Each structure stands twice: as C-alpha cells, then as structure tokens.
Structure 1
Amino acid sequence: MVLQDLGRRINAAVTDLTRSPNLDEKQFDSMLKEISNALVEADVNIKLVATLRTSIKRTVNFKDLPPSTNKKRLIQKAVYDELVKLVDPHAEPFKPRKGKPNVIMFVGLQGSGKTTSCTKLARWYQARGFKACLVCADTFRAGAFDQLKQNATKAKIPYYGSLTQTDPVIVAREGVEKFKKERFDLIIVDTSGRHQQEKELFAEMSQIQAAVSPDQTIMVLDATIGQAAEAQSRAFKDTADFGAIIITKTDGAAAGGGAISAVAATHTPIVFIGTGEHLLDLDRFDPRAFVSKLLGMGDMAGLVEHVQSLKLDQKDTLKHIVEGVFTVRDLRDQLSNVMKMGPLSKMAGMIPGLGAMMGNMDDEEGSLKLRRMIYICDSMTLKELDSDGRIFVEQPSRMTRVAYGSGTSVREVEELLTQHKMMAGVAKKMKGGMANMQRAQAAMGGGNKAQQMAAAQKRLQSMGGAGAAGGPGGMDMAKIMQMMGGGGGGGGMPNLGGMDMASMMKMMGGMGGGGAGRGRR
C-alpha cells in the first residue's frame, strides 16, 4: 500500500520509544529523525516535515516537563496531533443535500483515475439514498465515453454523453440540464484530463465550469505522482479553484506523500481516498481517522459506516443471539457478510490490531480461506445447518461426507465446528445482555449512536499508538468488540452477530492453507 509502509515506520518509531524503560531526550530525537526520514521518503514536502518536527519538539519539551508527566502518552499524542494537522486543511468540504440538484465537476491530470472515481463517488452516494447520475464531458480522450458508459452500466447509474458532439462545453451543459429536469440529487460531470502546460485545455476547463456552475469542483490526484503533485494542484487551483481533493491509487507501491503535500499547499480538504479498482474501493476521508489507521489505531466509525452502507441482513442472527442460540447457519451467514465487507486488508486498517494478527496473509489468501469455510457450510444438509453442531459429534460420518462434498479436509470441518461451538457459547452467555442492550438502544434512539461511536473512537485514540497496534500481544480484540457494543446489535457492528474477530482470524489461519486435500478417501 502507498501509505501502509509510511504508517508502519512511524508506528514502529513511536512504539520502540514508548517501550523503552528509561525515556530520555536522545531517544526522543532519534524517534523524530526516523519519523522525518519516513515522511521525506514518502515524498512529503521537506518544509512540511521540518515544521512537523519542530512542532512535536516544542510540545514535548523535556526541560520544562514536570516529573509527574507521562512522557510516553504525551509523545504519542503530540505525534498524532501533528500528523492530523498535516492532512487537515481546516476547511469544510461541500456536502450535497437530497431533494435539490447538486452539481459536482471533476478535474485532474490524464491517467489519474478521474473517470473511475466519478463512478465510485456516484455509487457511494447512491448507496446512501441519493439519486445520482454521470455526465461525460471528456470528448478529448478516445474511449472516455465508452469507459464511463461501461462503469455506469455496471453500477446501475444513469449517464449522459455523445459520440458525435465534440464540444465538451455543450455536452456538459446539455447533460446537466437533462438531469436537473429529471430531478436528480447528484449530477457528476467528468472532464478531460489535462496538464498545467496545456493552456487550451485549461481554458476549456474554465468554460465548462462557467457553463454548468458546479456546487463543487473536485481535483483527482494520483498518489503515485510524487513531488509534482504540489505544482500541478497549484496550477489547477489557480484556474478552476477546486474545493476538494480525491486521492487515487493508494493501493499501489509508490510513496504517496506528494498528494498530502498538495493538500497542505492548497489548503483544500481531501474528501475521499481510492483504495483499489473495485467500485466499492472508495473511503471517505477524515483526518483523525486517517491518522488513526496510519498509526495502527483503527477507524471503528469508518468500519461501522461501511458495514451499514452494505445493508447486511442481520435480523435472524440477532434474534437467535437474543434467545441465546447460534446455529451453523448463523455462522455461515456471518462468513458471507465478512466477504461482502471487502478486502481483509481494508478491514485490517479499520480494526485496531487486526493488521498485526493477519501477519503475512494477503487478501487473496484470506478470501480463499473464507470461501472454503462457506463451501463447508454449503455442503451441509438443512438439518445440519440449523443444528447446534452436536449432530456431527454424534454421527462423525457426517464430517467425512461434508469434507468430501466441499473439497476440503475433515480437519477443516472439525476446526469450523470447534469455532462454531465457541461462538455458540458466547451467544449463550450474551442472551440476557443482548435483550437489555436492544431495549436500551430503542429507548435512546439513533441520535445517541453517533455519540457512542465518537466516544468509543476517542477511547481507542487515548490508548495510544503503541498499545493499539499490539495485535495479539497488545489490545484484546474481544474487549474492543465488547466496548463497541457487545454482540453486534448496533446496526452492523464489526463483530457481526457476536463474532469474535480475533478468534475468527485464528480460525482462518488454521484452515489448512487454502490448498488442503479433498477430504478422506
């Protein structure tokens, strides 16, 4: 990942310092040097790095600190706060409202992922109840309209464009007028990619902007562009005066700090980050959540929002947990829900410690192991799925049949059933608590959920980078899940249906290595 290595280095520097029994100024300076080197190597502007280093040093002044001061906590907080300042322009981005046409125009360099980002953004808002559409005003690049058409069709989003009209200003105006008449909430206009030296294309960009009068202009920045990002963003800012930035291709192997420098240079908020090629690979950007993920502290609020947007069906499982029951079918449903949540690496960034627990397991390996678990469940009869698992203990031949039918091994079936037994025990213990929690949530209403989430996120951050990133040896995942609401009742929490994420990851790690044999012969 573009920013994953940066986060790992910063986190390691802070963790090494806070683990030291006798923390002194020399060690503190060494940590600052390592953080500064990591930022510079990630293409963050050297002036910004120098400012950040000076600010942290000013905050943690060893000479003026009282003896009773918790130096480790102070250093953690100083690093966190200064990194937040680095990516926070303190400017509120435009927020579309339903019931009125909101026009958003996209600008950026050619090849930055602008057209794909248009579709991702439309799909993101569509999943949240907006009536979204796309207008292709890119008449310069061959195949631009076909690409947008293909993406929009896949995402089931209405679109407008022309294969005959070559004037992008006319296409943009006609498309926006059409969708305004049809009462769309969100009208996204894609424009040609351009370079700061292409004066004609820059003039054209201004003409399109004048023709459609966008409520917001978004610049798309490729995370791999490096130091050139700042100069390019300044040129676009002077011409189009964009009000927000989307950073793309953060799943690549390049540095990515140049895009962060561009934010600081133009004082423009990042609104989203593209994390992959899939239409769902778009994360809303929040400075504090971003830095929390960077330091391995997770982003629970982002995870919950992501899960809620998927509209996962949890009714039957929650009903069973309230009754103290957890069937094999419930386990199968939760495995399917985890698959829908997206790549495990994405979840790992949101849940404190999960990245460390995954170890070297990549998305492909993790996804394969999840699928093998589902294959096991799919090879069971209805009676077996709706059972408490004892039927397999009483009739072991069923395990052999399921293993053969699912193309897995008997050992994998046994491990799945062991995991189910443990989770069923958790559900049994939670029986009374879940019922009380649901009644309390119903009494409090939706407004307090946001407050609970904010409080939980604050508690996570207060634990500091070192402890939060500790994985199995640090923060107890089960306790985090309990802190986040107990048994998954609050509208799709990360421990879906009471699932202990730590135990699930252990189970995945022992599922026979993906290519296990095809059962007993």
Structure 2
Amino acid sequence: MVLAELGGSITRALQQMNNAIVVDEKVLGECLNEIARALLHADVRFDLVRHLQTNVKNLVNLNHLAAGHNKRKIIQNAIFDELCKLLDPGKPTFTPELGKPSVVMFVGLQGAGKTTTCTKYAHYHRKMGWKTALVCADTFRAGAFDQLKLNATKAKIPFYGSYVDSDPVKVAVEGVKRFKKENCDLIIVDTSGRHKQEAALFEEMRQVSEATKPDLIIFVMDSSIGQSAFDQAEAFKQSVSVGAVIVTKMDGHAKGGGALSAVAATKSPVIFLGTGEHMNEFEPFDVKSFLNRLLGKGDLSGLINTIQRNVPMDQQQQPELLQKLSKGNFTLRMMYELIQNLLEMGPLNQVCTLSRLTLYVS
C-alpha cells in the first residue's frame, strides 16, 4: 500500500529513540530530523513538515519534565498527535443521512479516477441500505457516459446521462430532478475532469454547482501527483465549496504524502481511500486507524468496522464476536470462524481485514 515506506521510516526513527540510553534534546532532534526526511521523501510539503517539527518541540520540553516521566512515551504521543493534525483538519461540511435526499457533486483532475470513485461511493452506501443514483454531467470527455453506464450497471445502480446533449448543466439538473422524484437518498453527480489552468472548465464547474445546489462537493485526488496536489486542491477550493476529499490509487505509488497533506489546502477532511480498481477496494478514512496501521500498530476499531461492513455472517453471531473483540478476547475458534466467513468474500489478498487480523494473532 502507498506510504508503507513512510511508515517504516517513521517507525525506525522512533525505535532508534527508544534504544537510546538517555533521551535528551539531541536524541529528540535526531528523531524529528529522520521523520522530517521521511515525510519530505513522501512529497509532504516542506512548510507542513517544519510546522510539525516545531509543534513537537514545543509540546515536549525535556528540560522541564520532572523525574519519573516516560520521556519516550511523551515524545511518541506528541508525534502521533501532530501527524493526526496534519491529516485531519476537521469534519466534513455535510454528512449525508439515510432517508434524507442528498446531492453530492464530485470534482477533480482528469485521470484521478473520479468516475470510478463515484460508482464506488454509490456502491458503498447502497450496501448499507441507501437508495443511490448516478448522474453523468461529464459531457467533455469522450466515453465518460459509457464508463459510468458500465460501472453503474455492474453495481446495479440507476444512472442518468445523455449521448446527444452537450450541456452539462442541463444534464445535471435533469438527472437530479428525476432521481429526487424517485425518492433517492443519495444522488451523485459526476463532472468533467479539469486542470486549474482551464478557466472555461472551471466556470462550467461553478455553473453545475449553482444549478444543482449540492449538499456536499467532494474533491477526488490522485495520490500519485505529489506536491502539485496542494496547488490544484487550492484552485478547486477557491472555485467551489469543497467539503471533503477522497484520495484514489492508494495501492500503487510510493509518494502519496503530497496528496494526503493537500487536505491543508482545502481545509476539508479525507473521508474515503480508493485502494484498488475493484468496487469493494474502497474504505472509509479514519486518521487514527490509518496512522496505527501506517506505524505497524494494531487497529482494533478498524478491524471491528471492517467486519461490520464486509464479513457475511449471521446477524445474531456478529454482535457477539464484536463484543468479544472489543474486550480483547480472541481465540483460535473465533479466528477459524472468521476466516471461514472471509473465504466467502473472494481472494484473501483483497480482504484488508485479514492483514489487520494478523496484528492481533501474532
């Protein structure tokens, strides 16, 4: 997964600090320098890295710590908290609710995987009982409607688009109006991919936004574009009210730090990660769970949430298993039953739960 190298580098820096006989300002400085180099190598912006270093040094004042304090633990907690702040600017401006019709508009650069992400987003909510629908307002890219139509058909999600109408505003308005009449809970509008230098396409994006009045605008960001993600995200934020971010292609690039840190430009949180091409390779983003996995720690809350979403087991059996897990009770019998259920989901290498599971068995 993307950023695995970054996680390993940060973990090694913390381990070197733990191995030091005496933790002083020099050891702290060396640890922070190693972490800074790892973040910069992953394309995190320099000003954000410097800000993280400064904050940790301000939080951890070794000269004023009384004897008996666990300096290593204090430093680790401070670094963890600052990494959380780097990736979590707050809550989304709007959260869709089941039973209340909501319009969600997707924007982003061309090639970021926006159309596929729209379908994944719709499919994710459909599995949870939502009535979802897709509207193709991308009349600029050839084959955009065909792609959305194919994806929506596979996912069994109703869709709307046009082969003849080239006005994206008209198509978007008609699609939203149609699905509101059908009492859909979540209406997702896919728009054309655009670059910040394409003024005409940015104006078109604003017009679609004004016409459909979306409850939430999601910026889809390719994890592989590096530090340029910051400027692009900032341009989109200035044009429309971006309320959340989805980072795609998290399975194939080593320098995803630029994309993750670009949430600072939109001041909007990452809400989902695209971890592959398949429909189910899409997971909610939780900062603490993500960092725990990144640093090789256990992620119990992530394990429980994944079981609730994906593992096909009896409804009476699931609460009992989750209760035992939350108390730290995990037996070989439970592991056997869980793996039997996981096998029904397909190839194990596509089931992210298993990788988390091994953290607790080992």
Separation (CA, whole Å) in 2 of partners of 1:298 and 1:147: 38
SS across alignment from 1:243:
strand
Contact 2:5 2:254 in 1 (8 A): no
What is the CA-CA distance between 1:12 and the residue it aligns to? 1.6
Equivalent position SS for 1:164: coil
Aligned position for 2:325: none
Inter-partner Cα distance in structure 1 for 2:342 and 2:353: 13
Aligned to 1:23: 23
Which residue in the other structure is 2:225 paired with?
Answer: 225
Contact 1:299 1:349 in 2 (8 A): no
Q: CA deviation at 1:23?
A: 2.8
Judge conservation of contact 1:91–1:267 (CA < 8 Å) in 2: no
Q: Distance in 2 between matches of 1:65 and 1:216?
A: 46
Partners of 1:219 and 1:135 lie apart in 2 by 16
Cα gap change, 1:338 to 1:63, in 2 (>3 Å): farther
Larger Rg: 1
How many equivalent pairs are there?
A: 351
Q: Is the 8 A contact 1:136 1:171 kept in 2?
A: yes
Within 2, Cα distance between the matches of 1:57 and 1:267? 24
Contact 1:93 1:271 in 2 (8 A): no
Question: Counterpart of 1:151?
Answer: 151
Q: Can you list the C-alpha shifts for 1:309-358, whole angstroms capped at 9, x where unaligned? A: 2251247988xx9xxxx9x9x9588334256286367336645x63xxxx
Cα distance in 2 for partners of 1:92, 1:344 equals: 28
* Equivalent position SS for 1:246: strand
Mark the runs of 5 or more structure 1 residues left unpaired by the alignment. 355-476, 478-500, 503-521
Separation in 2, partners of 1:17, 1:344: 35
Choose the corresponding residue for 2:342, options 317, 320, 337.
337
Quote the Cα distance in structure 1 between the aligned partners of 2:256 and 2:98: 34
- Rate the CA distance shift 1:333–1:23 in 2: closer, same or farther, 3 A: closer
Q: Distance in 2 between matches of 1:316 and 1:175?
A: 40
After superposition, what is the alpha-carbon deviation per residue over 1:222-275, rounded to whole angstroms, capped at 9, x for unaligned? 010111101111111111121111011111123011112311122111111111
Give the secondary-structure state (helix, strand or coil) at the position aligned to 2:225: coil
Which structure 2 segments of 5+ residues have no match? 322-330
Aligned-residue offset at 1:300: 2.1
Q: Deviations over 1:437-475 (max 9, x none)?
A: xxxxxxxxxxxxxxxxxxxxxxxxxxxxxxxxxxxxxxx
Per the TM alignment, residue 162 of structure 1 is displaced from its structure 2 partner at its CA by 1.1
Distance 1:116 1:167 in 2: 22
Residues 81-135 of structure 1: CA deviation (Å, up to 9, x unaligned): 1100111112444211122210000000000010010011101111111111111
The match for 1:267 is: 267
Q: Is the 1:93–1:269 Cα contact (8 Å) retained in structure 2?
A: no
Alignment check: 8 A CA contact 2:92 2:243 kept: no
Q: Are the equivalent residues in 1 in contact too, given 2:43–2:226 (CA < 8 A)?
A: yes
**Partners of 2:311 and 2:345 within 8 A in 1:** no
Letter in 1 for 2:49: V
Q: Of 347, 352, 360, which residue of structure 2 is paired with 1:346?
A: 352
Distance in 2 (alpha carbons) for counterparts of 1:75 and 1:109: 38
Q: 2:299 matched to 1:299?
A: yes
CA 1:226/1:91 → structure 2, altered by over 3 Å: closer, same or farther? same
Give 3-state SS (helix, strand or coil) of 2:232's partner: helix
Alpha carbons 1:221, 1:229 under 8 Å: kept: yes
Describe the shift of the 1:145–1:216 C-alpha distance in structure 2 as closer, same or farther (beyond 3 A): same
Partner in structure 2 of residue 426 of structure 1: none
The alignment partner of 2:2 has SS state of: coil
Matches of 1:66 and 1:338 in 2, distance apart? 53
Structure 1 length as normaliser, TM-score? 0.63
Q: In terms of mean alpha carbon deviation, does 335-344 or 14-23 score higher?
A: 335-344
The residue that corresponds to 2:328 in the other structure is none
Task: Report the counterpart of residue 257 of structure 1 in structure 2.
Answer: 257
Query: Which residue matches 2:79?
Result: 79
Taking a change above 3 Å as real, the CA distance of residues 172 and 29 of structure 1, as seen in their structure-2 partners, is same
CA separation in 2, counterparts of 1:15 and 1:76? 10
- 2:142 paired with 1:136: no
Question: Is the CA contact (8 Å cut-off) linking 2:105 and 2:214 kept in structure 1?
Answer: yes
SS in 2 for 1:134: strand
Which TM-score applies when normalising by structure 2? 0.90
Alignment correspondent of 2:117:
117
Q: Measure the CA separation in 2 of the matches of 1:335 and 1:160.
A: 39
- Aligned twin of 2:327: none
1:11 matches 2:16: no
- For residues 332-411 of structure 1, the aligned pairs below 5 Å read 334-338=339-343, 340=345, 343=349, 346-347=352-353, 350-351=356-357, 354=359
The residue that corresponds to 2:184 in the other structure is 184
Identify the residue that residue 170 of structure 1 maps to in structure 2: 170
Letter in 2 for 1:289: S
Aligned to 2:68: 68
In structure 2, relative to structure 1, the CA distance for the partners of 1:123 and 1:315 (3 Å cut) is closer
User: For each residue in 1:43-88, what CA deviation from the matched residue of structure 2 results, as whole angstroms up to 9, or x when unmatched?
Assistant: 1110010010111112222211111110111111011111001111
- Within 1, Cα distance between the matches of 2:157 and 2:180? 15
Q: Which residue number in structure 1 is paired with residue 207 of structure 2?
A: 207
Partner amino acid, structure 1, of 2:339: Q
More displaced, 249-258 or 336-345?
A: 336-345
2:91 and 2:317 mapped to 1: Cα distance? 42
Q: Given residue 88 of structure 2, which amino acid in structure 1 is its aligned partner?
A: D
For 1:3 and 1:311, locate their aligned partners in 2 and report how far apart those are by CA, in whole Å.
26
Q: Aligned in 2, Cα 1:237/1:203: closer, same or farther, shift over 3 Å?
A: same
Structure 1 residue 34, shift from structure 2 partner: 0.6
User: 1:340 aligns to what SS in structure 2?
Assistant: coil
Does structure 2 conserve the Cα–Cα contact (< 8 Å) formed by 1:108 and 1:193? yes
Deviates more, 1:176-185 or 1:279-288: 279-288
Q: What is the CA deviation profile of residues 169-219 of structure 1, one whole-angstrom value per residue up to 9, with x for unaligned ones?
A: 111111100000000000000000001111111111011111111000000
What CA distance in whole angstroms lies between the structure 2 residues aligned with 1:102 and 1:129? 15
The one-letter code of the counterpart of 1:282 is F
**Match status 1:104 vs 2:110:** no
Q: Which amino acid aligns with 1:148?
A: L
Name the counterpart of 2:45.
45
State yes or no: 1:285 paired with 2:285. Answer: yes
CA distance in structure 1 between the aligned counterparts of 2:15 and 2:52, rounded to whole angstroms: 19
Bigger relative contact order, structure 1 or 2 (CA pairs below 8 A, ≥6 apart): 2
